[in-house]
Amino acid sequence: MKHTCPHCGKQSISSWAKFNSSSLHPAICPSCQGHAKQHWASHPLEDIFYVIGMPGILLWSFLVESWWPIIITVLFLTVISTLKFRYVPMVAVDLSLAKKQHWFAFGCLLVVFIWVVSDAIGK
Ligand SMILES: [Zn+2]
């Protein structure tokens, strides 16, 4: 099974390349050498499910003293993510933008690290 390249529109990207793709490690289209990655954006209903549904299912599982609600949820999420992997098209990657975003995230982590260390030393 091949996936559609967002640059040239050909079904040229392998499932393994799509599975491993990210913004810093994109899949490279064999026919046009374009960079692409999986589209991770979610539907608002999914976000509502993760925020409200997940704690609800954990509480339900706790109240009925059974693992079944959690097992069914894991199976359901596996099916949903498989369908999304198959049917959600890939998106183009801007490597320079991705590098800037990762350096920004690294800088934020560094600030938090310095803050925690200085807090630990100060006491
Ligand atoms: Zn292409």
| Domain range summary for the chain, segments of one domain joined by + | 47-88
Q: How remote is the CA of residue 41 from the centroid of ligand 1, in Å?
A: 21
Q: How remote is the CA of residue 43 from the centroid of ligand 1, in Å?
A: 26
User: What is the DSSP annotation of 38-97?
Assistant: ------HHHHHIIIIIHHHHHHHHHHHT-SHHHHHHHHHHHHHHHHHHHHSPPEE--HHH
Which of 24-28, 46-50, 63-67, 103-107 has the weakest average pLDDT? 46-50
Average pLDDT, the chain: 92
Q: Which two tokens stand for residue 32?
A: 């046009």
Q: How many residues does the chain have?
A: 123
What's the confidence (pLDDT) of residue 123?
67
Q: How remote is the CA of residue 102 from the centroid of ligand 1, in Å?
A: 25
pTM: 0.70
Query: What confidence tens digit (pLDDT) does each residue in 46-73 have?
Result: 888 889 999 999 999 999 999 999 999 9
Residues lining ion ligand 1 (Cβ < 5 A) are 5, 7-8, 29, 32, 34
Which one-letter amino acid corresponds to residue 89? P
What's the confidence (pLDDT) of residue 63?
96
